[in-house]
């Protein structure tokens, strides 16, 4: 993976292009006074059930995800602040979605382009955006209907994390939470080889170099970064290239740790962020 592709992944962490079109200012609140949002009502002002689920990794997000997902991304926005990982991420746009600081985000993608959903945590936990409260509940949850500039309504579910997406996908996530539908298990095997404490995580299937891969970046106590890539069924060409990259790694100023276990190949590269971001993946 070259630097251009890394930049694409970073940019992809931002919310979908429709999100800036949300009419997110709460009624009778000033759009220019950021302090006013702290006077907004809290989550407890919304009736019905609230989401209460662990949300500290991509695995936690997938634990709430309906089956059929083909890729997912997790970003701990609060941990990347002031680091190279923040480049290309429009935090102002992210915060504007709720008129509060967005601290974590997860995005799940499906083959059908209209099938997607996101999970978010915010600070403070307030309802400082414009919405209509759904007249009826779904499995005990009252949805917050949000209008977009494109004329398509999106649906929020209050809690930790917040759920955002089209109505059908939001209901599917609630079904998983309620136990009436099975959660995603497509990536369980490959994720068992990954550490879940990184601030930037991506997983996807059906690539040109492996049937599945997991990618993360993590800032180390030393100030350096590690980049972990876990491959499921990596191609012979990829395996050969990885062996060559490891052989010449010292010359490039990075440390390689390459291990294999059956059809799993795991590569951890450590060094300066801008160097490891340029390290090829295939």
Q: Which residue has the higher pLDDT, 186 or 13?
A: 186
Please compute the mean of the pLDDT values over residues 131-143 and round it to a whole number.
96
Residue 73: half-sphere exposure toward Cβ, Cα within 13 Å: 19
The lowest-confidence range among 5-14, 65-74, 162-171, 221-230 is 5-14
* pLDDT exceeds 90 at position 163: yes
Q: What is the pLDDT of residue 1?
A: 42
Q: Where are the domains positioned within the chain?
A: 3-178, 188-276
What does residue 169 show for φ and ψ, rounded to 5 degrees? -70, -35
Question: What pLDDT sits at residue 14?
Answer: 39
Q: Which has the higher per-residue pLDDT, 164 or 251?
A: 164
The DSSP annotation for 22-84 comes to B--PPTT--SS-GGGGGGS-BGGGS-B--EE---SSHHHHHTTPBTT--EEEEEEHHHHTTSG
The string of pLDDT tens digits covering residues 217-252 is 999 999 999 999 999 999 999 999 999 999 989 888
Band the pLDDT of 120: cuts 50, 70, 90: very high
Whether the predicted pLDDT of 36 surpasses 60: no
Residue 15, pLDDT > 60, answer no
How far is Cα 43 from Cα 180, in angstroms, rounded to an integer? Answer: 25
Average predicted confidence (pLDDT) for the chain: 87
Average the pLDDT over 151-173 and give the result: 95
> What's the pLDDT band for 38 if we cut at 50, 70, 90?
low
Tell me the per-residue pLDDT of 169-227, one tens digit each, with 9 for 90 and over: 999 999 999 999 999 999 999 999 999 999 999 999 988 999 999 999 999 999 999 99
Q: What does the alpha-carbon distance between residue 31 and residue 85 come to, in Å, rounded to a whole number?
A: 29
**Assigned CATH for 188-276:** 3.30.1360
Asked if residues 278 and 225 have their Cβ atoms less than 8 Å apart, the reply is no
Rounded to an integer, the average pLDDT of 49-67 is 98
pLDDT of residue 3: 43
Mean pLDDT of 42-71: 97
Considering only CA atoms, give the Rg of the chain: 20
Residue 148 is predicted with a pLDDT of: 80
């Amino acid at each position: 993976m070259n630097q251009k592709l890394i930049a694409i992944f970073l940019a992809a962490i931002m919310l979908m292009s429709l999100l800036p079109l949300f009419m997110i200012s709460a009624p009778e609140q000033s759009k220019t006074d950021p302090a006013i949002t702290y006077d907004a009502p809290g989550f407890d002002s919304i009736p019905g059930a609230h989401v209460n689920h662990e949300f500290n990794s991509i695995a936690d997000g997938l634990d709430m995800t309906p089956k059929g997902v083909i890729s997912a991304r997790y970003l701990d926005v609060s941990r990347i602040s002031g680091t190279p990982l923040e480049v290309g991420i429009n935090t102002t746009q992210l915060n504007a979605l709720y008129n509060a600081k967005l601290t974590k985000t997860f995005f799940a993608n499906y083959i059908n382009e209209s099938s997607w959903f996101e999970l978010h945590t915010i600070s403070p936990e307030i309802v400082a955006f414009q919405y209509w409260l759904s007249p009826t509940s779904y499995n005990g949850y009252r949805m917050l209907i949000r209008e977009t500039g494109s004329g398509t309504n999106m649906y929020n579910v209050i809690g930790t994390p917040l759920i955002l997406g089209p109505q059908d996908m939001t209901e599917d996530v609630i079904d998983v939470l309620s136990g009436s539908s099975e959660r995603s298990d497509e990536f369980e095997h490959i994720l068992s080889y990954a550490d879940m404490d990184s601030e930037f995580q991506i997983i996807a299937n059906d690539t040109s170099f492996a049937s599945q891969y997991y990618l993360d970046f993590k800032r180390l106590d030393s100030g350096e970064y590690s980049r972990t890539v876990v491959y499921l069924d990596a191609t012979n060409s990829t395996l050969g290239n990885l062996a060559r990259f490891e052989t010449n790694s010292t010359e490039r100023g990075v440390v390689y740790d390459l291990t294999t276990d059956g059809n799993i190949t795991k590569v951890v590269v450590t060094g300066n962020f801008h160097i490891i971001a340029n390290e090829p993946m295939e």
